[in-house]
Structure 1
Amino acid sequence: MDDIKCIAALIYPDFMSLDVVGPLQVFASANVERNRQGLSDAYRLLMLSEAPGAVRSSSGMRMVADAAWRECDPGTLDTLLIPGGIGETRQCENLPLLDWLRSAEPHVRRLGSVCSGALILARTGLLDGQRVTTHWADVETLRQHDRLRVDSDCLHTYDPTAGNRNNHMFTSAGVTAGIDLALALVEADLGRSMALAVARRLVLFLRRPGGQAQFSALLAPEPSRTPRLADLLEWIPAHLGSDLSLEALASKANMAPRTLSRVFASELGIGPARYVERIRLEAARALLQDAQASISTVARLTGFGHPENLRRVFQKHLSISPQEYAERFGQEISHA
């Protein structure tokens, strides 16, 4: 392949390292697979920041930027990825960066985001009118951009066959969804067999079933993001088999039921019942993946009671039955 595609990732103080390392490793692994076949590299990887040199991620690890984005010719880039991270808020106010992204957009073949990097792209206005997604915890913030069509339950919005901007500009959901996105980009560039080879090498699904709503709910949000609910959200996963009705939760939180509902809506963007359902679903998924119990026992332990209740919730959120989920993701288990 004579035309090596340059895949660039923006990094900035307190970016999420996995948002960058995960997708870039997919492209690097595609090079390895091609080399195994006697073919040349398909991709060149580049990291851009405010200035060349080390940049500290939110984990404390440092990654080295190859060049300053302001000095980079966007015409030399095939794909530009914008990661998320706790430093994203500052970048949303970085006017020179936003201007550079706007000027770069017509010149790069593909421009996309990983996780909360969508919030940076949203501030440029380049996503207006498009279907977009982001990390589940940032969906409500993204909805504040009223010109966007926010899909809270998909892994990414890249569609190489779409007759619209979704094959030029796209977004992806929380953290590891950036890997799903990168696999889709490799498949579009190099074909399904190469994408499968990369997925096998990295022990990944080429296409994960389901959306993103199901992958993170068991982890309570950061206390600083939900100050009035922090104790309750920590308590819920340890008491899934208990009465988690609105009245019971309100009593535990020392609030009136209507007040608790308002606080949930304000701090989480969903109601208590929906939150509890998703926490129970996550716990059931974990038990089925590890083959720790039968489906009927899983239903009882996670507070669904009857297996039919568990089945309805799985179909509602994942479009798959508990048994099919267990067969796909876990070990064989009993129906008893």
Structure 2
Amino acid sequence: MPTVAIAIFSGVQALDVAGPVDVFSEANRFIAPADAYEVKLISAEAAPLRASNGMMLIADATFGQARGPFDLALVAGGPALPDTAPEAPLLEWLANVATQCGRYGSICTGAFALGHAGLLDDRNVTTHWQHAAQLAAQFPKARVDFDRIYLRDGQLVTSAGVTAGIDLSLALVAEDHGPHTALAVAKRLVVFAQRQGGQSQFSPYLTAPADDTSPVAKVQAHVMERIRESFSVKQLAEVAGMSARNFARVFVQETGVTPHEFVERARVDAARKLLESSGAALKAIAYDCGFGTADRMRIVFTKRIGATPMQYRERFRSA
């Protein structure tokens, strides 16, 4: 009987726990009893703890009692993890079980706990899109993928935000018992067995500049107000009042992307809003957002967010 241990703590994201637990529990309906998953919640103490949404959870065992080995050990995420290091017992438990498990990893911001336990160095990992840059900054030896729903690097498995723990767990069930079992579980839970696209389809590309009075912010506003137009670095440099060479350098320094990259992201963001809120024809949206043609918009969308404009509209358009 394969054993699954999920580490929890005060302030844990309840869905990071419940999602994987339900996947493995439902999988037991479709596999032989001898192969059924035995899922245990592990925490520092056996006393009830409160999740971030107010729900009370009780662990099956403490870190001291549950030393492994396990077939799979996961640490759930929590809203405070990106800014607050976990307590020592959790980190010690993670470091210990990682050496004994067939697979180990994290759900959502649980990746920060893995980082503090020294388990992310030189590994390919992902986390919630909103905290991916922060994870990369805190643990620069990790190779953080900002867009993946889940990711496997050898024994290490990591997932994106919250419900992505379900995607990861379904993928692990598919590894263990085949895609037909994972599909049966997905149907029971009324979720996709494998979501198309990455996290980019859920995240905004553009964020507000740190200084909205800076020349770079002026250029960003200029682009977004005239998104239908075409732009060259020379034209944008004139808006900023700089030479083209200096402007390109300063823009990358302040935003982390090239002017061309920003313009393309701005077009995608503008198109997404129209796809979500209107029934306008794709060719009209493509023209209004500066792509020129619907084919060009489709190419950029597929590259940027892993979905075509039509697929994006079907998923996110308001009724």
Q: Name the TM-score, length of structure 2 as normaliser.
A: 0.75
Structure 2: runs of 5 or more not aligned? 241-246
Deviation digits for residues 116-157 of structure 1, max 9, x if unmatched?
211211222222222112222322223232322222222222
Match of 1:184 among 171, 191, 210: 171
Instruction: Look up the match of 2:96.
Output: 103
Q: Distance in 1 between matches of 2:99 and 2:211?
A: 45
> 1:74-93 residue pairs with structure 2 within 5 A?
74-75=67-68, 77-89=70-82, 92-93=85-86
Instruction: Look up the match of 1:254.
Output: none
Deviation digits for residues 284-334 of structure 1, max 9, x if unmatched?
4576578833212332455645424412311321455435x3698589xxx
Q: Distance in 2 between matches of 1:176 and 1:279?
A: 27
Question: 8 Å contact 2:6–2:74 — kept in the other structure?
Answer: yes
Code of the residue aligned with 1:191 in structure 2: it is: G
Structure showing greater radius of gyration is 2
Q: Distance in 2 between matches of 1:62 and 1:279?
A: 39
Q: Distance in 1 between matches of 2:226 and 2:6?
A: 41
Question: 8 Å contact 2:43–2:90 — kept in the other structure?
Answer: no
Deviation digits for residues 21-76 of structure 1, max 9, x if unmatched?
22222212212x42xx8857722332222212332233x32231324542232325
Question: 8 Å contact 1:92–1:98 — kept in the other structure?
Answer: no
Instruction: Look up the match of 2:3.
Output: 6
Q: Distance in 1 between matches of 2:268 and 2:10?
A: 35
Question: 8 Å contact 2:228–2:288 — kept in the other structure?
Answer: no
Q: Name the TM-score, length of structure 1 as normaliser.
A: 0.71
Code of the residue aligned with 1:100 in structure 2: it is: W
Give identity over the alignment, percent.
36
Alpha-carbon distance, 1:228 to partner:
5.2
Question: 8 Å contact 2:150–2:167 — kept in the other structure?
Answer: yes
Alpha-carbon distance, 1:101 to partner:
1.3
Is 1:199 equivalent to 2:193 in the alignment? no
Instruction: Look up the match of 1:57.
Output: 51
Count of residues in Structure 1 that have an aligned counterpart in Structure 2: 299
Match of 2:284 among 266, 280, 297: 297
Instruction: Look up the match of 1:322.
Output: 309
Structure 1: runs of 5 or more not aligned? 159-165, 251-256, 332-336
Instruction: Look up the match of 1:147.
Output: 141
Residue 175 of structure 2: SS of its match in structure 1? helix
Match of 2:162 among 164, 175, 180: 175
Q: Distance in 2 between matches of 1:248 and 1:68?
A: 64
Is 1:134 equivalent to 2:127 in the alignment? yes
Instruction: Look up the match of 2:243.
Output: none
Question: 8 Å contact 1:8–1:45 — kept in the other structure?
Answer: yes
* Residue 12 to residue 306, structure 1, CA distance change in 2 (3 Å): same
Question: 8 Å contact 1:216–1:282 — kept in the other structure?
Answer: no
Range moving further from structure 2, 189-198 or 131-140: 131-140
Residue 15 of structure 1: SS of its match in structure 2? coil
Range moving further from structure 2, 134-143 or 313-322: 313-322
Q: Distance in 1 between matches of 2:174 and 2:261?
A: 36
Match of 2:107 among 102, 106, 114: 114
Question: 8 Å contact 1:80–1:111 — kept in the other structure?
Answer: yes
Code of the residue aligned with 2:59 in structure 1: it is: D
Alpha-carbon distance, 1:168 to partner:
1.6
Residue 199 of structure 2: SS of its match in structure 1? coil
Question: 8 Å contact 1:19–1:84 — kept in the other structure?
Answer: yes
Is 1:15 equivalent to 2:2 in the alignment? no
Question: 8 Å contact 1:244–1:276 — kept in the other structure?
Answer: no
Instruction: Look up the match of 1:162.
Output: none
Alpha-carbon distance, 1:283 to partner:
5.9
Instruction: Look up the match of 1:28.
Output: 25
Alpha-carbon distance, 1:263 to partner:
4.9
Q: Distance in 1 between matches of 2:186 and 2:269?
A: 24
Alpha-carbon distance, 1:249 to partner:
11
